[in-house]
Structure 1
């Protein structure tokens, strides 16, 4: 696979690369991350490889991430329309101002104008609601986004870090009112965070949202840099060094085994697992150096067999919320299990195994 093996994103005609360049690492305002020049080198490498999808947010490094991208596009003269620029609203850059964050109409409008200025463009391809705002009616948010789409300043809208029930509500409202609807969903998803398989990913598949996982390497844990041998070393870097349970080391051991078989890295295998999961359209990768980006791009060359996937799945099985465990238990107890299209559903009507039609 190559970065140029584009796929349509959700229920839309928007073509995106299988790996999206995440730019939360662009800028050093948060005390970590890549310098401006290194960030531009990362952009160059990704674009030279044929990648076309760049993800940022108004909040990232206090707006500097967006500015680095905008400056780079202006300096290089890259054709703006060849890219899918993705940014987000919700984050508050002005502490103390209650209207400078959230998903209200007021904040959407001012956040968009500021992002357009920093990115030095007159439109955003993919505009994300960064998180769920319990204080703003979803109708207000959707109405404002519809106006942004109608104005031409936004091409598509999407949603991140929001409960499945609220996303479903939003999709139904948009459909009923003939408004622009969300085409994408950003969620945390990795071998160490699979709980979204219970509600969020099935919801996205049913309602036509492309899934774009973030943190597919779980803050670097799935790169293999944390081992049983170095677990007592002093922590460094962005995150406090985690005290990993044995179950995590078991997953890393299996990743290492597959990586050795394919002569690649643990991170590449972990990314390849995410990319191979149902419903995934494009996976976010971040990097602080060009070397890290190059290593992440190796995932495009990894081909996992069904046995490899099963091998990783069995040690990373998530604990899902009700009703999934109940339905699975019912199936295993012989209380259902209808085979349709060659697949047995665990959500089949519950009937005792020996029951028969009476009426």
Structure 2
């Protein structure tokens, strides 16, 4: 792996690795993942390669992920070197109506629980894990700002929320002088590109760095699953369980995998590296979360930025994975926009005219 490059996260001064370590696989409570020894090896390997951005959540493996991570960080004496992120929203206690959701009561409970399990007195980034469709955004942002002022969290992130909600949260922060949203954590990969309809522009316009989850679609884009042999692994185990995030074993997606395999063969790189390289270089992306149950998987993933994907091959992947453009987004395509200007050429300004063009190490990833 070459010398790592760090991007600033959104419009902050916080420098994060372009590949971050996802700790959702730390623990075996969910029927997959790694035992403690393997998890610690993965943690050490990531740090040895210059990685500094680690992502977890209170709900991951029922709290084991945070607990082990806290032990690994303490044993290595690496807290000040790391950018540690966690999330809250999901209920960890049965039959407790206030044990989940985004409200102030659960938010304060959750951050204290994460700090205890992680054996730290602050979190560098704390995310709302998902929109609960209930709590006013004013309550969420005020409470998060209070936690920043109290020194318990440094930066604020949103994960898996509607675009309008993120825009309202950021506008509210600007209006009232709250700590702004610095990160948007969203699913993004060759088989899941729907954030391109709205979130990419949202992030670059409003100063939020996109942190990508599931860039390999739970192993599908690493070539782990075949059409007629997808009988084990996480996707097979969770097929049909009702969680759309794991329903990737479709013919459309296998056609994307076919093209990815061809591109990977042409440049002599593993499929996982090509898929990660593609998503890491998309507009707005600050960091890509990579998880691994085994050290060998992480070693492969950490080489994803050691090469440049030729433009013509990137274009082939773009075309093979192009999402359907639904209403109203087709009104914002070049063909429809051209109708507004009577065929005159408009929009020939250089990339980055509307948003600052940032040098290597930028937070938005815009080139």
Q: TM-score, normalised by structure 2?
A: 0.88
The CA deviation string for residues 308-338 of structure 1, in whole angstroms up to 9 with x for no partner, is 2111111111113322213434246685564
The CA deviation string for residues 260-294 of structure 1, in whole angstroms up to 9 with x for no partner, is 22221011101100011111110010110101111
Q: Hey, what's the Cα distance between the residues in 1 that align with 2:282 and 2:343?
A: 26
SS in 2 for 1:301: coil
* C-alpha contact (below 8 Å) 2:235/2:249 kept by paired residues: no
SS in 2 for 1:282: strand
Out of 284, 287, 304, the residue aligned to residue 289 of structure 2 is 284
Structure 1 residue ranges without an equivalent (≥5)? 345-359
Other-structure match for 1:167? 166
Structure 2 residue ranges without an equivalent (≥5)? 240-246, 352-367
Task: Sort the Cα spacing of 1:335 and 1:225 in 2 relative to 1 into closer, same or farther, 3 A.
Answer: farther
Other-structure match for 2:298? 293
SS in 2 for 1:325: helix
Other-structure match for 2:362? none
Q: Hey, what's the Cα distance between the residues in 2 that align with 1:58 and 1:317?
A: 34
Q: Hey, what's the Cα distance between the residues in 2 that align with 1:330 and 1:340?
A: 13
Other-structure match for 1:5? 5
Q: Hey, what's the Cα distance between the residues in 2 that align with 1:152 and 1:276?
A: 33
Q: Hey, what's the Cα distance between the residues in 2 that align with 1:199 and 1:208?
A: 14
1:330 aligns with 2:336: yes
Other-structure match for 1:235? 231
* C-alpha contact (below 8 Å) 2:25/2:32 kept by paired residues: yes
Q: CA RMSD in A?
A: 1.9
Out of 314, 339, 348, the residue aligned to residue 346 of structure 2 is 339
Q: Hey, what's the Cα distance between the residues in 1 that align with 2:77 and 2:329?
A: 51
Out of 272, 276, 284, the residue aligned to residue 277 of structure 2 is 272
* C-alpha contact (below 8 Å) 1:269/1:302 kept by paired residues: no
Out of 321, 341, 345, the residue aligned to residue 316 of structure 1 is 321
Task: Sort the Cα spacing of 1:98 and 1:245 in 2 relative to 1 into closer, same or farther, 3 A.
Answer: closer
Q: Hey, what's the Cα distance between the residues in 2 that align with 1:273 and 1:8?
A: 20
* C-alpha contact (below 8 Å) 1:264/1:298 kept by paired residues: no
1:244, distance to aligned residue in structure 2 (A): 4.4
Task: Sort the Cα spacing of 1:324 and 1:336 in 2 relative to 1 into closer, same or farther, 3 A.
Answer: farther
Other-structure match for 1:355? none
1:38 aligns with 2:38: yes
Q: TM-score, normalised by structure 1?
A: 0.90
Q: Hey, what's the Cα distance between the residues in 1 that align with 2:116 and 2:346?
A: 55
SS in 1 for 2:11: coil
Aligned length: 340
Indicate the larger mover: 152-161 or 261-270. 261-270
Q: Hey, what's the Cα distance between the residues in 2 that align with 1:278 and 1:186?
A: 14
Task: Sort the Cα spacing of 1:208 and 1:110 in 2 relative to 1 into closer, same or farther, 3 A.
Answer: same
SS in 1 for 2:156: strand
SS in 2 for 1:12: coil
1:126, distance to aligned residue in structure 2 (A): 0.4
- From the CA coordinates, give the structure whose radius of gyration is larger: 1
1:256, distance to aligned residue in structure 2 (A): 1.7
SS in 2 for 1:192: coil
Task: Sort the Cα spacing of 1:163 and 1:271 in 2 relative to 1 into closer, same or farther, 3 A.
Answer: same
Q: Hey, what's the Cα distance between the residues in 1 that align with 2:249 and 2:126?
A: 36
Greater RCO structure (CA 8 Å; 6+ sep) = 2
Task: Sort the Cα spacing of 1:77 and 1:326 in 2 relative to 1 into closer, same or farther, 3 A.
Answer: closer
